[in-house]
C-alpha cells in the first residue's frame, strides 16, 4: 500500500467514525416531526373555536363550520390531548436517555466537557414543562380538572403552574397581572382559552367579548392554513398515485418502449476506477463536512471570539448558508481535482439539459409526494418520534423573519439541490454504473445520499427520495431534471414549515 492509499485509508476511518457517531447521536434526539404534529394540533384547536361561531361575515357561517368540521374532526380536543400525550412520552423517553448518557460519561471521565449535553437536558426539561402545562389546559377545558392538576403538579417551574391552577380553580384573581403573564407565556388557542377563563371567573364581559372576537379571527386564519397544508398532499398525492399507476401499467404493457424504460440500462463510460470514486465521496463530502469544516470553524471562533449559538434568526440563517457554501465549494473543488486527469470527460457526463427534462422534473416531484409520504408514515411507526431531524427544519419552523426565510430558501432549495445532485447523481450514480447495473447504482447512491444527512429517522424516507431522483436522472439524462425535483421537494417542505410556523 503506497502513501496515498494509506492516507486515504486513515481519512476513511476518521470520516466513517464521525458519520456513524453522528447517526448514533441522532438516535436519542427527538424528531422535528413530533413538533410539526403539535403545530398542526394547535391549528386544529384554533379552528375548533369557530364551530360555535355565530358570526355573519362575508363568509357564510354554516359553510365555514362545515369546513371546520371536516378539517378538525368530531372531537378536536380529545385528538389534541392524545397528540400532546404522545409527544410528552417521546420527550420523557428522550430526556431519560440524555440523563443516562450523561451519567455514563461522568462515570467514565468526570473531567469530560458536557456543556452541550447539559444544554440538551435543560431544553428537554423546559419542553416537558411546556407540554405538561398545555396538556393540563386542554384537559381543564374539557372539564377534567383532576387530570389537569396531575400534569401541572409535575411542572418544575412552579410559578407557571400556579398561574393556570389559579385561573382554572374558578377563584377570583387579579386579572391584570395574570393577563399579562398569560400573554407572555402562551399564544394562540392556549392564550385565548386562559384569558377567556380568567375574564369569565372575574365577570369581565367586555374583555371576554374581545377575546372571543380574537378567537374567531384566529380560527378563520387557522382554517385557511389547514386548507393550504392539505392542498399539496391531497391533490399532489392523487396526481402522483395516478402517475405511478399509469407508468407501471405502461411498463408492463409496452416494456422496453415504455417511459420508465427510457435509458434504463444505458451506462456511463467511466474512465476512472473505484479509488477515484472513493476519494471524491470520502474526502470531498464526508471528511470535508465532518472533520475539516468543523475544525476550521472552531479555529475561527477561537481566534475571533465568534459564537454561532448567540446569533439571532437572521444571523443563524446566514451562518447556515455560508457554512453550506463552504462545504459545496470545497466538495466541488475536490471533485474537479480528482477528475482533472481525465479531461476531456466522455459524452453525457454532468449533462445539464436534455429533451423534455422539465417534464421529468415535474413528473418526478409528483410521484415523490405519495411515495415518500407513505414511506414516512410507515417510518414513523418504527422510530416513534426518535432518530433526530435536520436542524434546518426546526429553524425554518420557528422563524417568521422574511429575510431569514429567504436565506433558508436559497440554502435548501437552490444551493443544496445543485451541490447534492452533482455529487450524488451526476458523479456517484454515474460512476457506479461501471461496477453495478443502473438499478443497483440508483439504490446505492440513494442510500448514501440518505446517510449523508446524518439522521437515522430520515434514512428510509430520504433513500426513497434518492431512488426517485436517481430514476429521474438516469431516464432524463439531465441534471436539471433531478435538481428540479430536489428543489421542488425542499421548497414544498419549507412552505409547509412556514405555514405551520405562521400560527
pLDDT digits (tens, 9 = 90+) for 174-209: 666 788 888 888 888 999 999 998 888 888 888 889
Using CA atoms, how far residue 317 sits from 91, 229, 403, 411, 453, in Å, is: 26, 24, 9, 9, 18
pLDDT digits (tens, 9 = 90+) for 261-318: 888 888 898 999 999 999 999 999 999 999 999 998 888 888 887 877 777 888 888 9
* Mean pLDDT for the stretch of residues 319-328: 93
Indicate the range of 181-185, 321-325, 435-439, 446-450 predicted with least confidence.
181-185
Residue 339 is predicted with a pLDDT of 94
Task: Determine how many CB atoms are found less than 10 A away from the CB of residue 333.
Answer: 12
State how far the Cα of 180 lies from the Cα of 480, in Å rounded to an integer: 53
Indicate the range of 37-41, 153-157, 324-328 predicted with least confidence.
37-41
Contact 403, 411 (CB under 8 A): no
Q: Cell 457517531: give the residue.
A: 21
- Greater model confidence, 80 or 396: 80
Residue 252 is predicted with a pLDDT of 93
pLDDT digits (tens, 9 = 90+) for 3-35: 888 898 999 999 999 988 888 877 766 666 777
Contact 501, 396 (CB under 8 A): yes
Q: Which residues contact 386 (CB under 8 A, 6 or more apart)?
A: 27, 28, 29, 30, 31, 90, 93, 94, 457
CA dihedral of residues 121, 127, 130, 131 (deg, nearest 10): -120
What does the DSSP 8-state code read for residue 386? B
Task: Determine how many CB atoms are found less than 10 A away from the CB of residue 230.
Answer: 12
Residue 68 is predicted with a pLDDT of 53
- Greater model confidence, 113 or 38: 38
Residue 65 is predicted with a pLDDT of 54
pLDDT digits (tens, 9 = 90+) for 333-387: 999 999 999 999 988 899 998 888 999 999 999 999 999 999 988 887 777 666 5
- As a whole number, the mean pLDDT across the chain is 85
Amino acid at each position: 500500500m503506497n502513501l496515498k492509499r494509506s492516507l486515504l485509508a486513515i481519512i476513511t476511518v476518521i470520516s466513517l467514525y464521525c458519520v456513524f457517531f453522528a447517526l448514533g447521536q441522532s438516535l436519542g434526539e427527538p424528531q422535528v416531526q413530533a413538533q410539526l404534529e403539535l403545530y398542526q394540533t394547535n391549528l386544529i384547536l384554533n379552528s375548533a373555536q369557530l364551530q360555535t361561531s355565530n358570526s355573519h361575515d362575508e363568509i357564510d357561517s354554516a359553510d365555514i363550520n362545515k369546513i371546520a368540521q371536516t378539517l378538525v374532526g368530531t372531537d378536536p380536543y380529545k385528538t389534541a390531548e392524545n397528540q400532546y400525550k404522545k409527544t410528552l412520552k417521546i420527550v420523557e423517553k428522550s430526556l431519560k436517555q440524555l440523563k443516562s448518557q450523561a451519567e455514563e460519561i461522568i462515570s467514565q471521565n468526570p473531567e469530560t466537557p458536557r456543556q452541550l449535553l447539559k444544554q440538551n437536558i435543560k431544553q428537554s426539561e423546559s419542553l416537558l414543562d411546556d407540554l405538561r402545562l398545555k396538556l393540563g389546559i386542554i384537559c381543564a377545558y374539557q372539564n377534567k380538572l383532576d387530570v389537569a392538576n396531575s400534569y401541572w403538579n409535575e411542572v418544575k417551574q412552579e410559578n407557571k403552574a400556579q398561574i393556570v391552577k389559579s385561573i382554572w380553580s374558578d377563584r377570583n384573581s387579579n386579572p391584570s397581572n395574570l393577563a399579562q403573564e398569560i400573554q407572555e407565556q402562551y399564544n394562540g388557542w392556549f392564550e385565548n382559552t386562559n384569558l377567556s377563563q380568567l375574564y369569565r371567573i372575574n365577570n369581565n364581559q367586555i374583555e371576554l367579548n374581545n377575546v372571543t372576537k380574537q378567537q374567531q379571527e384566529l380560527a378563520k386564519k387557522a382554517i385557511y392554513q389547514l386548507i393550504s397544508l392539505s392542498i399539496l398532499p391531497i391533490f399532489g398525492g392523487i396526481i402522483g398515485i395516478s402517475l405511478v399507476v399509469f407508468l407501471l401499467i405502461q411498463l408492463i404493457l409496452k416494456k422496453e418502449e415504455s417511459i420508465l424504460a427510457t435509458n434504463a440500462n444505458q451506462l456511463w463510460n467511466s474512465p476512472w476506477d473505484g479509488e477515484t470514486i472513493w476519494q471524491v465521496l470520502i474526502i470531498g463530502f464526508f471528511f470535508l463536512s465532518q472533520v475539516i469544516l468543523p475544525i476550521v470553524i472552531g479555529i475561527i471562533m477561537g481566534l475571533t471570539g465568534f459564537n454561532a449559538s448567540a446569533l439571532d434568526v437572521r444571523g443563524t440563517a446566514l451562518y447556515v448558508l455560508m457554512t453550506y457554501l463552504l462545504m459545496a465549494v470545497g466538495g466541488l473543488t475536490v471533485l474537479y481535482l480528482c477528475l482533472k486527469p481525465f479531461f476531456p470527460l466522455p459524452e453525457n457526463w454532468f449533462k445539464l439539459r436534455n429533451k423534455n427534462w422539465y417534464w421529468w422534473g415535474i413528473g418526478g416531484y409528483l410521484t415523490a409526494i405519495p411515495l415518500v409520504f407513505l414511506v414516512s408514515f410507515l417510518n414513523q411507526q418504527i422510530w416513534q418520534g426518535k432518530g433526530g431531524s435536520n436542524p434546518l427544519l426546526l429553524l425554518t419552523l420557528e422563524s417568521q423573519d422574511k429575510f431569514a426565510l429567504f436565506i433558508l430558501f436559497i440554502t435548501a432549495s437552490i444551493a443544496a439541490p445543485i451541490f447534492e445532485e452533482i455529487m450524488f447523481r451526476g458523479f456517484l450514480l454515474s460512476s457506479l454504473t461501471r461496477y453495478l447495473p443502473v438499478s443497483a447504482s440508483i439504490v446505492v447512491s440513494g442510500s448514501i445520499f440518505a446517510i449523508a444527512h446524518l439522521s437515522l429517522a430520515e434514512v428510509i424516507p430520504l433513500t426513497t427520495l434518492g431512488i426517485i431522483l436517481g430514476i429521474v436522472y438516469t431516464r432524463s439524462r439531465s441534471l436539471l431534471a433531478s435538481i428540479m425535483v430536489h428543489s421542488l421537494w425542499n421548497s414544498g417542505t419549507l412552505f409547509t414549515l412556514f405555514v405551520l410556523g405562521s400560527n
